[in-house]
Chain A
Amino acid sequence: MSVKEQARIVGAEELSRLIGISQRVVKKISLAKGEPDWLLRFRLEALGFFSKMPLPDWGADLSRLTLSRIVSYLKTTPGSVRAWDQVPKSIRTTFERLGVPEAERKFLAGVGAQFESESVYQRLNEDLVNQGVTFCSLDEAVKLYPQVVKDYLGTIVSSSDNKFAALNSALWSGGSFVYVPDDVEVELPVQAYFRINSKNFGQFERTLIIAEPRARVHYIEGCTAPTYSEQSIHAAVVEVVAKESSKIRYTTIQNWSNNVYNLVTKRALAQKGSTVEWIDGNIGSMVTMKYPCVILAGKGARADILSLAVAGQGQEQDAGAKVIHLAPNTSANIVSKSISRDGGIATYRGLVKVEKEALGSKVSVNCDALLLDNYSKANTWPDIQVKNNRTSLAHEATVGQIDSDKIFYLMSRGISEIEAISLIVNGFIDDFSKELPMEYAVELNRLIQLEMEGSVG
């Protein structure tokens, strides 16, 4: 029996829910999706890596993570649609409350929404479709553009990269596929929205973004989940390919609830003269381990990484940035801001590696941490390696508390203590929030204000 026939049989019984991580689960997912043979082999190979690899012995505490009983696949709707009124009402209400359809009408070029394992909604402006831009779920891309997916999948983040990249490669479902052809500029951002709604669930979103020469695109990712006492895991892999002179900006606003392990591998390959920007905001989740990476492989490529971590009660934000300079005249700019409060732990873990061939490279790293009380923690672990003498590198880091003079000054002007603190905090993260689209910056400031309520400086 061929794989396709098997798929038809399994597909007929309509796969909706799978538990655990095993070869049987991987095969079922692949067959139900009607995937080609090479993809099933890719998944099974990755599963092999996953079972062999140990948990990382560095970084955040993962000792309480249990993967054996996790729901590894959950499908709630028959398929992805192109109009909100075709989305089942209960799911539509969730996204309406999150303001997704409204944002789409106002300032987005395209929107994708993923609920649990599968995409429920995908739409892109007609204009962009006509210009050859593609924005769909990666599952759909496997069916529509199998050769493109085959050429790129796993080339930037290999499935043996780390344990959670292997897990994602074995079980991935949903995620976005963005393809921008030569010279096309996507002016408004496209956004993908990821939602976990059930407990003890594992979301394995996989995203692939390809910008052909001189193309431009801004991709935004938002994440939320309701709070349960049981843990969920979001193990995503994002692969970005920026070809010659293209520009890709990837913005994340991660606001998972405090029961989610957010273990994400994000990496971009920047070719000659291209620019890759990661704008990475981590506000929610219980444990985050995420280090957006840019490999500067072509002459004159540029990386800009802006990261924000807010660690509150019971949260551990182990975030940072990685830049690897392989080619001459490449430049990188990293700005990291972290805020720890109510016993939260924020860590900046960064890597800057300038290889011997990367002559004339420039690197600037700035990380600032704000500690709001004396039982929270801030750590920095910046690894800086320079292997040639034609590079200029500067790294600066500071850790401290809110200046009490500043609070006193604001209070003397009639502002309450809490307002004063949140004003200063908003000023502290200004480098980050000014890079967000207006609507998101407002939302972020409001979110930070809510987070700060009840915390004393």
Chain B
Amino acid sequence: MVDIISIEKPGQHEFKIDFNSIQKIVFDLNCSGVRLDITSKQKITNSNLSVKLEVNHYQPDTHSKIIVKNVLKASRLELIGKISLPPGVVGSTTDFRCDSLLTDLGSAVKTVPAMNIGENKVKASHGVAVAQFNQEHVFYLMSRGLSKKQAENLLVRSFLR
């Protein structure tokens, strides 16, 4: 199943997507002045997911910002991101963030934030981070009387905020 979303009107466009329910999603930015914000924050439990996310900038002055946050528990996630800025899309910008929190040893994450850039008057960046619970944070919360589980739940909530 592939969702193709074509954006034809300038201005702010916000999308919230959940990796638990999609396999491939494509955003085509067909109009100058588009600001696309994609946020995807999810807990993934007991699943094996493979997601493709594509953003194609087809016009100058198009902007995309993608924030992905995953909390994995007994799960595997493969995320292939593909962002293209072909020649001519002057003044466009893109930023792709993908942070994953692995809560147990059985989880694994594979991220490929690919970019194809053929225009120099653009700004493009991506960042990927993979981490586990900060043991000092867990310890601090537990010293305040929270159980380990409560402490971890609180940290998951703050991570997904």
Pick from B90, B102, B104, B125: contact of A396, CB under 8 Å: B125
**In this complex, what residue of A is CB-closest to B82?**
A381
Given A391-B132, A397-B115, also A380-B108 (CB < 8 A) = no
Pick from B118, B124, B129: contact of A395, CB under 8 Å: B129
- Determine if A375 is an interface residue (Cβ-Cβ < 8 Å): yes
- Determine if A378 is an interface residue (Cβ-Cβ < 8 Å): yes
CB <8 Å contact, B121 and A374: yes
- What 0/1 pattern do residues 390 to 406 of A give for CB contact below 8 A with B? 11111111111100000
Within 8 A of B (CB), among A355-392: 356, 365, 369, 371-392
Within 8 A of A (CB), among B42-78: none
Given A398-B125, A399-B124, A401-B120, also A380-B130 (CB < 8 A) = no
- Determine if B143 is an interface residue (Cβ-Cβ < 8 Å): no
Interfacial chain A residues near B107, Cβ < 8 Å: 389
CB <8 Å contact, B128 and A395: yes
Interfacial chain A residues near B120, Cβ < 8 Å: 371-374, 376, 400-401
Interfacial chain A residues near B132, Cβ < 8 Å: 389-392
Interfacial chain B residues near A388, Cβ < 8 Å: 102, 105, 108
Task: Choose among A356, A369, A399, A401 the residue with the greatest number of B CB atoms under 10 Å from its CB.
Answer: A399
- What 0/1 pattern do residues 70 to 92 of B give for CB contact below 8 A with A? 00000000000000000110100
Task: Choose among A369, A379, A386, A394 the residue with the greatest number of B CB atoms under 10 Å from its CB.
Answer: A386
Within 8 A of A (CB), among B106-125: 107-125
Task: Choose among B103, B126, B128 the residue with the greatest number of A CB atoms under 10 Å from its CB.
Answer: B128
CB <8 Å contact, B131 and A398: no
CB <8 Å contact, A371 and B110: no
Interfacial chain B residues near A385, Cβ < 8 Å: 108-111
Within 8 A of B (CB), among A382-435: 382-401
Interfacial chain B residues near A373, Cβ < 8 Å: 120
CB <8 Å contact, A379 and B115: yes
Pick from A372, A377, A397, A401: contact of B127, CB under 8 Å: A397
Interfacial chain A residues near B100, Cβ < 8 Å: 386
Complex CA gap A339/B114 in Å reads 18
**In this complex, what residue of A is CB-closest to B78?**
A385
Interfacial chain A residues near B111, Cβ < 8 Å: 383-385, 395
- What 0/1 pattern do residues 118 to 155 of B give for CB contact below 8 A with A? 11111111111111100000000000000000000000
CB <8 Å contact, A394 and B116: no
Report the minimum CB–CB distance from B159 to chain A (whole Å).
Answer: 13
**In this complex, what residue of A is CB-closest to B124?**
A399
Interfacial chain A residues near B130, Cβ < 8 Å: 384, 386, 391-393
Complex CA gap A19/B160 in Å reads 62
Complex CA gap A7/B115 in Å reads 53
CB <8 Å contact, B122 and A389: no
**In this complex, what residue of B is CB-closest to A368?**
B125
Interfacial chain B residues near A381, Cβ < 8 Å: 112, 114
Interfacial chain B residues near A380, Cβ < 8 Å: 113-115, 126
Complex CA gap A394/B100 in Å reads 10
- What 0/1 pattern do residues 207 to 247 of A give for CB contact below 8 A with B? 00000000000000000000000000000000000000000
**In this complex, what residue of A is CB-closest to B104?**
A389
Interfacial chain B residues near A401, Cβ < 8 Å: 120-122
Given A374-B87, A388-B105, also A382-B128 (CB < 8 A) = yes
Interfacial chain B residues near A394, Cβ < 8 Å: 127-129
Given A385-B109, A387-B108, A388-B102, also A393-B116 (CB < 8 A) = no
Complex CA gap A296/B70 in Å reads 27
Pick from A378, A382, A387: contact of B113, CB under 8 Å: A382
**In this complex, what residue of A is CB-closest to B112?**
A383
Interfacial chain A residues near B129, Cβ < 8 Å: 392-395
CB <8 Å contact, A399 and B103: no
**In this complex, what residue of B is CB-closest to A387?**
B108
**In this complex, what residue of B is CB-closest to A353?**
B110
Interfacial chain B residues near A390, Cβ < 8 Å: 105, 132
Given A382-B112, A382-B113, also A377-B118 (CB < 8 A) = yes
Interfacial chain B residues near A376, Cβ < 8 Å: 118, 120
Complex CA gap A384/B128 in Å reads 8
Interfacial chain A residues near B124, Cβ < 8 Å: 398-400
CB <8 Å contact, B112 and A384: yes
**In this complex, what residue of B is CB-closest to A402?**
B120
Interfacial chain B residues near A382, Cβ < 8 Å: 112-114, 128
CB <8 Å contact, B105 and A356: yes
Interfacial chain A residues near B128, Cβ < 8 Å: 365, 382, 384, 393-395
Report the minimum CB–CB distance from B93 to chain A (whole Å).
Answer: 9
CB <8 Å contact, A397 and B114: no
Interfacial chain A residues near B116, Cβ < 8 Å: 377, 379
Chosen A-B contacts, 12 in total, with CB atoms closer than 8 Å, are A365-B128, A374-B88, A382-B114, A384-B111, A384-B113, A386-B130, A389-B132, A391-B132, A392-B130, A397-B115, A400-B120, A400-B123
Point out residues on B near A: beta carbons under 8 Å.
87-88, 90, 100, 102-105, 107-132
7 tightest CB-CB pairs across the interface, nearest first?
A371-B120, A389-B102, A395-B128, A387-B108, A399-B124, A393-B130, A385-B110
Given contacts A374-B90, A380-B115, 10 further A-B contacts (CB under 8 A): A369-B117, A372-B120, A374-B87, A379-B114, A380-B114, A380-B126, A382-B114, A391-B102, A399-B117, A400-B124
